[in-house]
Amino acid sequence: MRSFNRKMILLGQIKLKQKIMYNRAKKLGRTHSSVIASSQELDILLNKYQEFQLAEKPLLMYSKVS
C-alpha cells in the first residue's frame, strides 16, 4: 500500500511538473534555461516512476522457439 501511495504522489508531481514546463515553454520558448531545467526535473520524476513500474512487473525472459 505504501508503494501505491508513493506512486500516486509521484504521478501528481509528474503532472504538475509537466504543466509548469508547458507554461514556461509557452511564455519563454522551448530553449529557455528554465524550461530546460524543468525538463530535466521531469526526466528525474519519470525515471523514478519507471523504477516503480519495473519493480511491480518482473522482467519477462524470452527464449528462442525452435
Digit-by-digit pLDDT tens for the chain (66 residues) are 677 888 899 999 999 999 999 999 999 999 999 999 999 999 999 999 998 888 877 655 555 555
Instruction: Count other Cβ atoms within 10 Å, centred on residue 27.
Output: 10
The alpha carbon of residue 45 and the mean position of all alpha carbons in its chain are separated, in whole angstroms, by 4
Answer yes or no: is 14 within a domain. yes
DSSP string, the chain: -HHHHHHHHHHHHHHHHHHHHHHHHHHH-TTSHHHHHHHHHHHHHHHHHHHHHHHHSPPPP-----
Number of domains the chain is built from: 1
For residue 12, give the amino acid letter. G
Answer yes or no: is 61 within a domain. no
Instruction: Count other Cβ atoms within 10 Å, centred on residue 39.
Output: 15
Range of the domain at 18: 2-56
Answer yes or no: is 16 within a domain. yes
CATH number at residue 48: 4.10.280
Give pLDDT tens digits for 20-32: 999 999 999 999 9
